[in-house]
Amino acid sequence: MNFVRLYYKKYYYSYRDSSNIEMNILGLFFSNVGCDGRTFFKDWALAGQDGDTCGGNCTILEIENDDVLLSDEYSIEAVPTKLRMTRAQFVQLFDEWQEYVCKTQPKEVVIKHEHGHFFIETSDLKWENQ
């Protein structure tokens, strides 16, 4: 199982750790999207055409066929790692972020990827040294 863990730090979610680079990229994306109520990325994923790109503070998103690819804008890798998910998975994950994270503001968020599925788990665990 792959994962990325974020924790709530006053007004935003901050990266804690991840199982691999792909999940790190996903965590960076959501920590930058935050909870300001914008649906730009969801709308873009739903309406985008093959080859369309957009970006956030540190991630690049692109559409390839029916997939959304996320990569690190500032990667030091010769061939940057990309996280691939279907548009449907991206939209579902974005909706879950809004529902389970933004509405309740849990202390900890873990996004998991297992058997081809992405899902969010939350808890009110209080991290030390926040």
**pLDDT tens digits for range 26-39:** 999 999 988 876 78
Rounded average pLDDT over 91-104: 94
- Token digits of residue 128: 């030390």
Q: How high is the pLDDT of residue 127?
A: 54
Q: For the chain, give the mean pLDDT.
A: 92
**b/e for 88-118, b at 16 or more Cβ within 10 A?**
ebbbbbbeebbeebeeeebbbbbbbbeeeeb
Please tell me the pTM assigned to this model: 0.91
Rounded average pLDDT over 112-120: 96
Rounded average pLDDT over 56-67: 93
Q: How many C-beta atoms lie closer than 10 Å to residue 70's C-beta? A: 21
Q: How high is the pLDDT of residue 35?
A: 87
Q: How high is the pLDDT of residue 56?
A: 82
Residue 118 has pLDDT above 80, yes or no: yes
The secondary structure of residue 11, as a DSSP letter, is T
